[in-house]
Amino acid sequence: MQYLTDRKRAQGLGSGRTGTKTHWNAIVTSTLLVPAVPVFVFTVGAGLGGTYEEVLAYFSRPVPAILTALSMIVIVLHTLHEVREAIEDYMHGVSERMATIAATAFAYSLIAAGLLALIKLAL
C-alpha cells in the first residue's frame, strides 16, 4: 500500500514550461502564413502555363524567386511545428524521439530540395 499525495502522483506530468514559447511560435508562423499562402499561389501560378524558357525567365527574376522561397520556407516550418505538437501529444518515449527526428529531417530536406530546385531554375 502506497501513501502518495496528490502532488507526488502528479509530479512529472505537469507543465513542461514550454507552452508559451510553442504557442507564440504557432501564432507568429500562422500570422506569416496569411500573406505567404496567397503570395505563393499567385507567384507560382503566374509562372505556370508557359514554355520551359518562359518559366526559366520568370523564375530568374529576383522578386518571384525570393517570394517563392520565403513562402515555401514559412509553410514548411509551420507544418513542422504543428507535426511536432501532434507527435508530442500522442507519442511517448523512444518512438516520440524517433518520429520527431524523422519529421524534422523530412522538413529540412524538403526545404533544401525546394531551394535547390528554385536556385537551379533561377540560375
Q: What is the pLDDT of residues 1-50, one digit of tens each?
A: 567 677 666 665 555 566 778 888 889 889 989 998 999 899 889 888 88
- Give percent of the chain with pLDDT exceeding 70: 87
Q: Is 64 exposed, middle or buried (0-12, 13-18, 19+ CB in 10 A)?
A: buried
Question: How many angstroms separate the Cα of 37 from the Cα of each of 5, 11, 70, 91, 111?
Answer: 51, 42, 10, 30, 16
